[in-house]
Amino acid sequence: MPLLWIVIIALALRVLVITAGHTYKITPRRDHFQFGWETGRIARSIALGQGFSSPTDLPTGPSAWTAPMYPYLLGLVFKLFGVYSNASAWVILVFNSIWSALTCWTLYRIAGRIFGEAVARGTAWTWAIFPYVIYWPVRVVWDVCLSTFLLSLALWLAILLREKAGLRNWIFYGLLWGLIAVTNTALVILLPFMLAWICYPAPRKSVKPVALCLAAILISITPWTIRNYRVFQRFVFIRDNLPLELHEANNESSGALWTRSEHPGNSPEAMKRFQEVGEIGYMDETRREFSEFVRAHPGQFAWFTIERVFYFWAAPRQATNVNGYDLWVARHVQFLLAALFGFLGMGLMFVRKNPYRWLLAPFLLIYPLPYYLVNPFPRYKHPIETVLMMLIVYLLCESRGVKLDWRLRRVQG
């Protein structure tokens, strides 16, 4: 079946789930807070003409809580279809689904170049119909699907740049990474490793192209950086909420994961303090509290970090009761099996000296590092689940050639 049909079927499935499953009917509890959480609050402010501001229930002034791209897109949807309306929810979830479906295309191209046609088709079809992948675009109002597609596109273009690199292509690659930076800043951690892989065959010839690429990135993010400097009177690289995330996951009552009751999005007391001192002042306070905790409890911080490494790959603790049965074991096992198979697929690439092994390895080894320090929500892992799924399909395809002989043999004594 042509690749276009895989993308169409993937999109149709997602739209069908949204429409027939009424996933666009997001709970109105807490004044629709689950409709995008802080992103939804900022988008509401944008739609109401209050600018990029107020990520909590109270008006708290200008914000840099998140990267700007998705809140502005959601704000436009709110302005056209109504703030927190069912119509807006349907539109933004279909928007997410388009990017999720298009990821089938990038995955097919990447897997086909690295592993061959069988893995390419297997990966694209799995991404198209796997229920876990479908969940994110049809239920979660967040940048996760757009970010995942953009990162997969950057991976595909990295392969093309290494094979045929023109200066115009390098500029386009820089603009793409600029778009990624203002959509999901955390993904930028992979940029140096992709550039290093592209340039490795001829590093001296790559100085000018890389300089053009970096210049394009800087040009892309400069307007938002200038905006942040004007409203906060200090340099803020795209977003400012890292100190809060570090503090919420590392304090005496956190237990390695965030303390929901102290978060400004959930606690009236914290929200009031956030309003009193402003966003930058609040982030400064949480930075100091995080630093004091690490100095006073280095062993506990180290243990929390180890726990979060486990939770990143096995999913954090959460309520998993279904009809009175606690399914936490099943939840951890299914996530761990996916991670195990993905790492085995990566190991097989290194055993066979696949030329793309160092391009994919940072997705599993480098990308998670920041999330070992903060709360590792499963949605944070989704951008690298493209590579994880590709490696799993690769491993399963290669296992078809393994023959096991289970016959018992009598030992001659």
pLDDT at 252: 87
Measure the CA–CA gap between 45 and 63, rounded to whole angstroms: 10
Measure the CA–CA gap between 186 and 361, rounded to whole angstroms: 17
Q: Is the backbone of residue 49 left (phi > 0), alpha (psi -120 to 50) or beta?
A: left
Measure the CA–CA gap between 317 and 197, rounded to whole angstroms: 36
Q: What is the DSSP letter of 88?
A: H
Return the SS3 of 356.
coil
58-96 pLDDT per residue, tens:
999 999 999 999 999 999 999 999 999 999 999 999 999
Splitting the chain (413 residues) into consecutive groups of 10 residues, what average pLDDT does each group show? 93 98 95 95 98 95 97 98 98 98 98 97 98 97 98 97 88 98 98 96 86 97 97 95 94 82 81 93 96 97 96 81 67 92 98 97 98 94 98 94 64 51
pLDDT at 409: 60
Measure the CA–CA gap between 400 and 369, rounded to whole angstroms: 34
pLDDT at 407: 66
Measure the CA–CA gap between 133 and 387, rounded to whole angstroms: 13
Pairing of strands 321-322, 325-326: antiparallel
Q: Quote the tokens at residue 302.
A: 């180290």
pLDDT at 255: 84
In angstroms and rounded to an integer, the radius of gyration of the C-alpha atoms of the chain is 23
- Please give the single-letter amino acid code of residue 9: I
Q: Are 175 and 220 in contact (CB under 8 A)?
A: yes
Helices (H) and strands (E) in the chain, counts: 18, 2
Residue 173, C-beta contacts closer than 8 angstroms, at least 6 positions apart: 154, 157, 158, 161, 213, 216
